[in-house]
Chain A
Amino acid sequence: MAHETESDENLAARLSRGENAALGVIIRRYQDPLARYIRRRCYSCRSEIEDILQDVFLRVFSHIREFDNGLSFSAWIYRIAHNLMVSRIRKTVVRSVEDPLDETLIPSTLFRADGPHEAVEFAKTLQAIQERMPTKLRDVFVLRFLEEKDYTEIGDILKENANTVATRIRRAREFVAGEAQRLGLRMALENK
Protein backbone atom coordinates (compact mmCIF):
# COMPACT_ATOMS: atom_id res chain seq x y z
CA MET A 1 0.00 0.00 0.00
CA ALA A 2 1.43 3.37 -1.02
CA HIS A 3 2.29 5.58 1.92
CA GLU A 4 2.27 9.36 2.16
CA THR A 5 5.89 9.46 3.34
CA GLU A 6 7.25 7.16 0.67
CA SER A 7 9.80 8.58 -1.78
CA ASP A 8 8.67 9.79 -5.20
CA GLU A 9 10.75 7.12 -6.89
CA ASN A 10 9.14 4.34 -4.85
CA LEU A 11 5.71 5.69 -5.65
CA ALA A 12 6.61 5.77 -9.33
CA ALA A 13 7.79 2.17 -9.15
CA ARG A 14 4.57 1.13 -7.42
CA LEU A 15 2.44 2.96 -9.96
CA SER A 16 4.29 1.35 -12.86
CA ARG A 17 3.54 -2.04 -11.26
CA GLY A 18 -0.15 -1.21 -11.38
CA GLU A 19 -0.71 0.06 -7.83
CA ASN A 20 -2.96 2.94 -8.79
CA ALA A 21 -3.22 4.14 -5.20
CA ALA A 22 0.31 5.51 -5.61
CA LEU A 23 -1.09 8.04 -8.08
CA GLY A 24 -3.29 9.45 -5.31
CA VAL A 25 -0.22 10.11 -3.16
CA ILE A 26 1.60 11.70 -6.09
CA ILE A 27 -1.37 13.94 -6.82
CA ARG A 28 -1.65 15.07 -3.21
CA ARG A 29 2.08 15.71 -3.08
CA TYR A 30 2.43 17.66 -6.32
CA GLN A 31 -0.94 19.28 -6.89
CA ASP A 32 -0.22 22.48 -4.99
CA PRO A 33 3.44 22.97 -6.02
CA LEU A 34 2.53 22.48 -9.68
CA ALA A 35 -0.47 24.80 -9.44
CA ARG A 36 1.81 27.42 -7.88
CA TYR A 37 4.38 26.91 -10.62
CA ILE A 38 1.77 27.35 -13.34
CA ARG A 39 0.46 30.51 -11.67
CA ARG A 40 3.98 31.90 -11.42
CA ARG A 41 4.76 31.20 -15.04
CA CYS A 42 1.41 31.88 -16.72
CA TYR A 43 -0.73 34.79 -15.62
CA SER A 44 -3.49 33.90 -18.04
CA CYS A 45 -3.93 30.25 -17.09
CA ARG A 46 -6.04 30.59 -13.96
CA SER A 47 -9.21 29.20 -15.48
CA GLU A 48 -7.25 26.32 -16.93
CA ILE A 49 -5.10 25.29 -13.99
CA GLU A 50 -7.33 22.38 -13.03
CA ASP A 51 -7.45 21.14 -16.61
CA ILE A 52 -3.68 21.42 -16.95
CA LEU A 53 -3.14 19.59 -13.67
CA GLN A 54 -5.57 16.87 -14.68
CA ASP A 55 -3.66 16.42 -17.95
CA VAL A 56 -0.37 16.35 -16.05
CA PHE A 57 -1.44 13.57 -13.70
CA LEU A 58 -3.14 11.56 -16.43
CA ARG A 59 0.10 11.83 -18.41
CA VAL A 60 2.03 10.71 -15.35
CA PHE A 61 -0.26 7.70 -15.11
CA SER A 62 -0.03 6.71 -18.77
CA HIS A 63 3.70 7.45 -19.17
CA ILE A 64 4.98 6.25 -15.81
CA ARG A 65 6.92 3.41 -17.43
CA GLU A 66 8.94 5.98 -19.34
CA PHE A 67 10.26 7.40 -16.08
CA ASP A 68 13.62 6.12 -14.95
CA ASN A 69 15.72 6.90 -11.95
CA GLY A 70 18.40 8.73 -13.91
CA LEU A 71 16.14 11.75 -13.47
CA SER A 72 14.49 13.02 -10.30
CA PHE A 73 10.75 12.40 -10.28
CA SER A 74 10.23 16.06 -9.42
CA ALA A 75 12.11 17.17 -12.56
CA TRP A 76 10.13 14.68 -14.64
CA ILE A 77 6.71 15.82 -13.41
CA TYR A 78 7.67 19.51 -13.68
CA ARG A 79 8.79 18.85 -17.25
CA ILE A 80 5.38 17.38 -18.06
CA ALA A 81 3.64 20.32 -16.42
CA HIS A 82 5.89 22.81 -18.21
CA ASN A 83 5.30 21.23 -21.62
CA LEU A 84 1.53 21.03 -21.18
CA MET A 85 1.40 24.60 -19.93
CA VAL A 86 3.50 25.90 -22.83
CA SER A 87 1.33 23.98 -25.25
CA ARG A 88 -1.78 25.66 -23.77
CA ILE A 89 -0.15 29.07 -23.95
CA ARG A 90 0.68 28.54 -27.62
CA LYS A 91 -2.85 27.51 -28.49
CA THR A 92 -4.28 30.88 -27.49
CA VAL A 93 -2.90 33.80 -29.43
CA VAL A 94 -4.17 36.73 -27.41
CA ARG A 95 -4.58 36.29 -23.69
CA SER A 96 -5.44 38.65 -20.92
CA VAL A 97 -3.93 38.61 -17.47
CA GLU A 98 -6.51 36.87 -15.31
CA ASP A 99 -4.28 35.80 -12.45
CA PRO A 100 -1.71 38.46 -11.59
CA LEU A 101 1.36 37.50 -9.63
CA ASP A 102 0.53 38.06 -5.98
CA GLU A 103 2.79 38.39 -2.98
CA THR A 104 2.05 34.85 -1.78
CA LEU A 105 3.77 33.47 -4.87
CA ILE A 106 7.04 35.28 -4.20
CA PRO A 107 9.52 33.49 -1.93
CA SER A 108 10.75 35.49 1.02
CA THR A 109 14.34 34.78 -0.02
CA LEU A 110 13.79 36.93 -3.08
CA PHE A 111 12.17 39.85 -1.32
CA ARG A 112 11.46 40.70 2.27
CA ALA A 113 8.70 43.28 2.43
CA ASP A 114 8.51 45.86 5.19
CA GLY A 115 4.73 45.77 5.01
CA PRO A 116 1.82 44.26 3.06
CA HIS A 117 1.50 47.25 0.78
CA GLU A 118 5.15 47.04 -0.25
CA ALA A 119 4.76 43.31 -0.96
CA VAL A 120 1.80 43.92 -3.24
CA GLU A 121 3.68 46.64 -5.10
CA PHE A 122 6.70 44.38 -5.45
CA ALA A 123 4.57 41.58 -6.93
CA LYS A 124 3.03 43.97 -9.45
CA THR A 125 6.38 45.31 -10.54
CA LEU A 126 7.94 41.87 -10.77
CA GLN A 127 5.05 40.74 -12.93
CA ALA A 128 5.57 43.72 -15.24
CA ILE A 129 9.25 42.85 -15.52
CA GLN A 130 8.49 39.19 -16.24
CA GLU A 131 6.04 40.11 -18.96
CA ARG A 132 8.77 42.04 -20.72
CA MET A 133 11.23 39.17 -20.41
CA PRO A 134 11.95 36.85 -23.37
CA THR A 135 10.25 33.45 -22.94
CA LYS A 136 13.43 31.41 -22.49
CA LEU A 137 14.72 33.73 -19.80
CA ARG A 138 11.34 33.79 -18.14
CA ASP A 139 11.30 29.99 -17.96
CA VAL A 140 14.60 29.85 -16.10
CA PHE A 141 13.78 32.92 -14.01
CA VAL A 142 10.62 31.34 -12.62
CA LEU A 143 12.29 27.99 -12.00
CA ARG A 144 15.40 29.47 -10.40
CA PHE A 145 14.23 32.52 -8.50
CA LEU A 146 10.60 31.70 -7.72
CA GLU A 147 10.60 27.89 -7.62
CA GLU A 148 14.17 27.83 -6.25
CA LYS A 149 15.20 24.78 -8.30
CA ASP A 150 18.86 23.95 -8.74
CA TYR A 151 20.63 24.20 -12.10
CA THR A 152 20.60 20.46 -12.79
CA GLU A 153 16.89 20.14 -12.14
CA ILE A 154 16.13 23.19 -14.28
CA GLY A 155 18.17 21.59 -17.08
CA ASP A 156 16.22 18.36 -16.71
CA ILE A 157 12.87 20.16 -16.70
CA LEU A 158 13.64 22.30 -19.75
CA LYS A 159 15.81 19.64 -21.45
CA GLU A 160 18.77 21.95 -21.70
CA ASN A 161 22.36 21.34 -20.70
CA ALA A 162 23.83 22.90 -17.58
CA ASN A 163 25.87 25.52 -19.46
CA THR A 164 22.84 26.78 -21.35
CA VAL A 165 20.87 26.96 -18.11
CA ALA A 166 23.68 28.86 -16.39
CA THR A 167 23.91 31.32 -19.27
CA ARG A 168 20.17 31.93 -19.32
CA ILE A 169 20.05 32.38 -15.57
CA ARG A 170 22.83 34.93 -15.81
CA ARG A 171 20.99 36.78 -18.56
CA ALA A 172 17.70 36.63 -16.69
CA ARG A 173 19.41 37.98 -13.59
CA GLU A 174 20.95 40.83 -15.58
CA PHE A 175 17.63 41.57 -17.24
CA VAL A 176 15.72 41.67 -13.97
CA ALA A 177 18.46 43.58 -12.18
CA GLY A 178 18.48 46.19 -14.94
CA GLU A 179 14.72 46.56 -14.91
CA ALA A 180 14.61 46.56 -11.11
CA GLN A 181 17.20 49.33 -10.95
CA ARG A 182 15.23 51.35 -13.47
CA LEU A 183 12.07 50.91 -11.40
CA GLY A 184 13.76 51.32 -8.03
CA LEU A 185 13.04 47.78 -6.85
CA ARG A 186 15.11 45.95 -4.24
CA MET A 187 15.50 42.20 -4.58
CA ALA A 188 17.96 39.50 -3.61
CA LEU A 189 19.10 37.94 -6.87
CA GLU A 190 22.80 37.90 -6.20
CA ASN A 191 23.08 34.74 -4.17
CA LYS A 192 21.12 32.55 -6.58
Chain B
Amino acid sequence: MKDLTEQILATARARNLKQIPRWRFALARGILAVLLFVAILVGAIAFGLLLESLWPDVGVIQGRGFKQMAIGALPLLLLSFFILLSVLGAYAFRHFRYGYRIRVPLILTVVLGLSLMGGIATYQMNLNFLMHRSLMQNVPTYRMAFEGQRRTFWVNPQAGRLAGELLSVNQDTIRIRDFSGKEWTVLNTANTETPSARSGSYRFVGAICGAHFCAEAMRPWDFHGPQGKGGGNGKGMHRQMMGK
Protein backbone atom coordinates (compact mmCIF):
# COMPACT_ATOMS: atom_id res chain seq x y z
CA MET B 1 0.00 0.00 0.00
CA LYS B 2 1.24 3.48 -0.83
CA ASP B 3 2.31 5.80 1.96
CA LEU B 4 -0.77 7.76 2.96
CA THR B 5 1.07 10.33 5.06
CA GLU B 6 1.16 13.16 2.53
CA GLN B 7 -2.39 12.51 1.35
CA ILE B 8 -3.79 12.60 4.87
CA LEU B 9 -1.81 15.65 5.96
CA ALA B 10 -2.93 17.42 2.77
CA THR B 11 -6.57 16.51 3.46
CA ALA B 12 -6.26 17.81 7.02
CA ARG B 13 -4.86 21.09 5.68
CA ALA B 14 -7.48 21.33 2.91
CA ARG B 15 -10.31 20.79 5.38
CA ASN B 16 -8.68 23.17 7.81
CA LEU B 17 -9.05 20.43 10.39
CA LYS B 18 -8.49 21.53 13.97
CA GLN B 19 -7.88 19.52 17.09
CA ILE B 20 -10.92 19.39 19.32
CA PRO B 21 -10.01 21.16 22.56
CA ARG B 22 -9.70 19.14 25.75
CA TRP B 23 -12.53 20.97 27.49
CA ARG B 24 -15.08 19.56 25.02
CA PHE B 25 -14.21 16.01 26.03
CA ALA B 26 -14.22 17.04 29.68
CA LEU B 27 -17.65 18.58 29.17
CA ALA B 28 -18.99 15.35 27.66
CA ARG B 29 -17.68 13.42 30.66
CA GLY B 30 -19.13 16.06 32.97
CA ILE B 31 -22.56 15.66 31.38
CA LEU B 32 -22.34 11.91 31.96
CA ALA B 33 -21.35 12.52 35.59
CA VAL B 34 -24.30 14.88 36.05
CA LEU B 35 -26.59 12.32 34.40
CA LEU B 36 -25.32 9.65 36.78
CA PHE B 37 -25.74 11.90 39.79
CA VAL B 38 -29.27 12.95 38.76
CA ALA B 39 -30.23 9.33 38.04
CA ILE B 40 -29.06 8.25 41.49
CA LEU B 41 -30.66 11.23 43.20
CA VAL B 42 -34.04 10.93 41.49
CA GLY B 43 -33.88 7.14 41.84
CA ALA B 44 -33.26 7.69 45.56
CA ILE B 45 -36.26 9.99 45.80
CA ALA B 46 -38.41 7.44 43.96
CA PHE B 47 -37.25 4.73 46.35
CA GLY B 48 -37.83 7.06 49.30
CA LEU B 49 -41.40 7.54 48.08
CA LEU B 50 -41.80 3.79 47.84
CA LEU B 51 -40.69 3.59 51.46
CA GLU B 52 -43.02 6.45 52.30
CA SER B 53 -45.97 4.59 50.84
CA LEU B 54 -45.10 1.22 52.37
CA TRP B 55 -43.24 1.65 55.62
CA PRO B 56 -46.04 3.19 57.65
CA ASP B 57 -48.16 0.19 56.70
CA VAL B 58 -45.72 -2.37 58.04
CA GLY B 59 -47.09 -2.15 61.55
CA VAL B 60 -50.66 -2.13 60.29
CA ILE B 61 -50.56 -5.13 58.05
CA GLN B 62 -47.85 -7.12 59.78
CA GLY B 63 -48.82 -10.75 60.11
CA ARG B 64 -51.57 -10.37 57.52
CA GLY B 65 -49.72 -11.50 54.44
CA PHE B 66 -47.59 -8.40 54.42
CA LYS B 67 -45.39 -9.56 51.58
CA GLN B 68 -48.37 -10.12 49.31
CA MET B 69 -49.89 -6.83 50.31
CA ALA B 70 -46.63 -4.96 49.96
CA ILE B 71 -46.13 -6.18 46.43
CA GLY B 72 -49.71 -5.30 45.60
CA ALA B 73 -49.36 -1.87 47.13
CA LEU B 74 -46.07 -0.95 45.48
CA PRO B 75 -46.83 2.06 43.38
CA LEU B 76 -45.89 0.74 39.99
CA LEU B 77 -45.16 4.20 38.66
CA LEU B 78 -42.50 4.81 41.28
CA LEU B 79 -41.11 1.33 40.96
CA SER B 80 -40.81 1.67 37.17
CA PHE B 81 -39.27 5.09 37.61
CA PHE B 82 -36.77 3.76 40.13
CA ILE B 83 -35.73 0.90 37.85
CA LEU B 84 -35.59 3.14 34.79
CA LEU B 85 -33.35 5.65 36.55
CA SER B 86 -31.08 2.92 37.85
CA VAL B 87 -30.67 1.62 34.32
CA LEU B 88 -30.02 5.16 33.10
CA GLY B 89 -27.42 5.64 35.84
CA ALA B 90 -25.75 2.37 34.90
CA TYR B 91 -25.73 3.48 31.25
CA ALA B 92 -24.04 6.74 32.21
CA PHE B 93 -21.47 4.92 34.33
CA ARG B 94 -20.81 2.42 31.54
CA HIS B 95 -19.98 5.29 29.20
CA PHE B 96 -17.44 6.90 31.46
CA ARG B 97 -13.91 6.72 30.16
CA TYR B 98 -13.19 3.27 31.57
CA GLY B 99 -16.70 2.33 32.68
CA TYR B 100 -16.80 -0.53 30.19
CA ARG B 101 -14.11 -2.33 32.19
CA ILE B 102 -16.60 -3.01 34.95
CA ARG B 103 -19.31 -5.62 34.48
CA VAL B 104 -22.79 -4.26 33.85
CA PRO B 105 -24.43 -6.27 36.70
CA LEU B 106 -21.88 -4.83 39.13
CA ILE B 107 -22.48 -1.29 37.86
CA LEU B 108 -26.22 -1.81 38.15
CA THR B 109 -25.82 -3.18 41.68
CA VAL B 110 -23.72 -0.19 42.75
CA VAL B 111 -26.15 2.32 41.21
CA LEU B 112 -29.14 0.52 42.73
CA GLY B 113 -27.33 0.34 46.08
CA LEU B 114 -26.56 4.06 46.04
CA SER B 115 -30.17 4.84 45.13
CA LEU B 116 -31.42 2.57 47.92
CA MET B 117 -29.16 4.21 50.48
CA GLY B 118 -30.08 7.64 49.14
CA GLY B 119 -33.74 6.66 49.33
CA ILE B 120 -33.44 5.70 52.97
CA ALA B 121 -31.58 8.95 53.67
CA THR B 122 -34.15 11.11 51.86
CA TYR B 123 -36.92 9.21 53.65
CA GLN B 124 -35.29 10.05 56.94
CA MET B 125 -34.98 13.68 55.91
CA ASN B 126 -38.50 13.79 54.44
CA LEU B 127 -37.16 15.14 51.15
CA ASN B 128 -39.16 12.58 49.22
CA PHE B 129 -42.33 13.68 50.93
CA LEU B 130 -41.76 17.26 49.81
CA MET B 131 -41.11 16.04 46.28
CA HIS B 132 -44.16 13.81 46.39
CA ARG B 133 -46.37 16.65 47.61
CA SER B 134 -45.06 18.94 44.90
CA LEU B 135 -45.66 16.27 42.23
CA MET B 136 -49.14 15.57 43.55
CA GLN B 137 -49.99 19.25 43.38
CA ASN B 138 -48.39 20.06 40.05
CA VAL B 139 -48.32 16.95 37.89
CA PRO B 140 -51.79 15.56 37.15
CA THR B 141 -50.41 12.43 35.46
CA TYR B 142 -48.41 11.57 38.57
CA ARG B 143 -51.37 12.27 40.83
CA MET B 144 -53.69 10.11 38.75
CA ALA B 145 -51.27 7.24 38.40
CA PHE B 146 -50.12 7.25 42.01
CA GLU B 147 -53.39 7.91 43.74
CA GLY B 148 -55.43 5.80 41.33
CA GLN B 149 -53.36 2.72 41.94
CA ARG B 150 -53.22 3.30 45.67
CA ARG B 151 -56.96 3.81 45.97
CA THR B 152 -57.70 0.72 43.90
CA PHE B 153 -55.46 -1.28 46.18
CA TRP B 154 -56.94 0.06 49.41
CA VAL B 155 -60.62 -0.07 48.51
CA ASN B 156 -60.92 -3.84 48.62
CA PRO B 157 -62.97 -4.79 51.70
CA GLN B 158 -63.14 -8.45 50.65
CA ALA B 159 -59.35 -8.55 50.97
CA GLY B 160 -59.50 -6.80 54.32
CA ARG B 161 -58.63 -3.28 53.18
CA LEU B 162 -60.81 -0.23 53.21
CA ALA B 163 -60.08 3.46 52.74
CA GLY B 164 -62.16 6.57 52.39
CA GLU B 165 -63.16 9.95 53.76
CA LEU B 166 -64.31 10.27 57.34
CA LEU B 167 -67.96 11.27 57.72
CA SER B 168 -68.26 10.94 61.49
CA VAL B 169 -66.21 9.52 64.33
CA ASN B 170 -67.55 8.06 67.58
CA GLN B 171 -65.85 5.98 70.23
CA ASP B 172 -66.63 2.60 68.64
CA THR B 173 -67.90 3.42 65.19
CA ILE B 174 -66.62 5.47 62.34
CA ARG B 175 -68.66 6.38 59.28
CA ILE B 176 -66.73 6.71 56.07
CA ARG B 177 -67.38 7.04 52.36
CA ASP B 178 -64.88 4.85 50.52
CA PHE B 179 -63.16 6.11 47.39
CA SER B 180 -65.64 4.33 45.17
CA GLY B 181 -68.46 6.31 46.82
CA LYS B 182 -69.96 3.62 49.05
CA GLU B 183 -70.70 4.47 52.68
CA TRP B 184 -69.49 2.16 55.43
CA THR B 185 -69.76 1.86 59.16
CA VAL B 186 -66.40 0.83 60.49
CA LEU B 187 -66.45 -0.90 63.87
CA ASN B 188 -63.43 -0.41 66.03
CA THR B 189 -63.22 -4.04 67.15
CA ALA B 190 -59.61 -3.97 68.24
CA ASN B 191 -60.18 -0.95 70.45
CA THR B 192 -57.65 1.03 68.53
CA GLU B 193 -57.77 4.70 69.28
CA THR B 194 -60.11 6.34 66.83
CA PRO B 195 -59.05 9.33 64.73
CA SER B 196 -59.11 12.55 66.71
CA ALA B 197 -59.70 14.46 63.51
CA ARG B 198 -63.25 14.59 62.21
CA SER B 199 -62.43 14.93 58.55
CA GLY B 200 -59.84 13.72 56.12
CA SER B 201 -59.14 10.26 54.73
CA TYR B 202 -58.26 7.07 56.55
CA ARG B 203 -57.41 3.50 55.69
CA PHE B 204 -58.39 0.44 57.65
CA VAL B 205 -57.28 -3.14 57.83
CA GLY B 206 -59.76 -5.75 59.05
CA ALA B 207 -62.62 -7.77 57.61
CA ILE B 208 -66.22 -7.41 56.56
CA CYS B 209 -68.52 -8.32 59.44
CA GLY B 210 -72.12 -8.43 58.39
CA ALA B 211 -73.02 -5.12 56.83
CA HIS B 212 -70.08 -3.37 58.45
CA PHE B 213 -66.32 -3.40 58.36
CA CYS B 214 -64.54 -4.49 61.52
CA ALA B 215 -61.24 -2.65 61.73
CA GLU B 216 -58.27 -4.08 63.52
CA ALA B 217 -55.94 -1.24 62.60
CA MET B 218 -56.33 2.20 61.12
CA ARG B 219 -54.04 4.83 59.66
CA PRO B 220 -54.41 8.24 58.05
CA TRP B 221 -54.51 8.06 54.29
CA ASP B 222 -51.85 10.65 53.66
CA PHE B 223 -48.16 10.13 54.21
CA HIS B 224 -46.75 11.43 57.44
CA GLY B 225 -44.75 14.23 55.83
CA PRO B 226 -42.20 16.47 57.47
CA GLN B 227 -44.41 17.45 60.38
CA GLY B 228 -43.49 14.32 62.25
CA LYS B 229 -39.81 15.20 62.28
CA GLY B 230 -39.54 18.92 62.65
CA GLY B 231 -42.76 19.59 64.41
CA GLY B 232 -42.16 18.06 67.68
CA ASN B 233 -42.79 14.57 68.89
CA GLY B 234 -41.07 12.67 66.13
CA LYS B 235 -43.86 10.12 65.88
CA GLY B 236 -45.30 11.22 62.56
CA MET B 237 -48.50 12.83 61.53
CA HIS B 238 -50.73 9.78 61.95
CA ARG B 239 -49.80 9.46 65.58
CA GLN B 240 -50.39 13.13 66.17
CA MET B 241 -53.76 12.84 64.50
CA MET B 242 -54.64 9.83 66.58
CA GLY B 243 -53.81 11.79 69.70
CA LYS B 244 -50.86 9.69 70.86
- List A residues at the B interface (Cβ < 8 Å): 16, 18, 20, 23-24, 27-28, 31-32, 35, 49-50, 53-54, 57-58, 61-66, 68, 70-71, 155, 159-164
> Given A28-B3, A58-B17, A62-B17, A161 and B101 touching (CB < 8 A)?
yes
Q: For A31, what are the chain B residues with a Cβ–Cβ distance below 8 Å? A: 1, 3-5
Per the bound structure, the CA–CA distance linking A18 and B19 in Å amounts to: 8
Contact A57 B4 (CB under 8 A): yes
Chain B stretch 18-47: residues in CB contact (< 8 A) with chain A: 18-22, 25
> Given A54-B11, A70-B98, A16 and B3 touching (CB < 8 A)?
no
The list of the 5 closest CB pairs from A to B, nearest first, reads A159-B100, A65-B22, A66-B25, A27-B5, A24-B5
Contact B11 A65 (CB under 8 A): no
Nearest-CB distance from A163 to chain B (Å)?
6
Cβ-closest chain B residue relative to A63: B20
Q: For B15, what are the chain A residues with a Cβ–Cβ distance below 8 Å? A: 58
Contact A161 B8 (CB under 8 A): no
Q: For B100, what are the chain A residues with a Cβ–Cβ distance below 8 Å? A: 155, 159-161
Q: For B103, what are the chain A residues with a Cβ–Cβ distance below 8 Å? A: 161, 163-164
Contact A16 B8 (CB under 8 A): no
Per the bound structure, the CA–CA distance linking A81 and B8 in Å amounts to: 15
Which of B4, B11, B18, B98: most chain A Cβ within 10 A?
B4
- From A58, A64, A65, A70, B97 is in contact (CB under 8 Å) with A70
Q: For A49, what are the chain B residues with a Cβ–Cβ distance below 8 Å? A: 1
Contact A23 B8 (CB under 8 A): yes
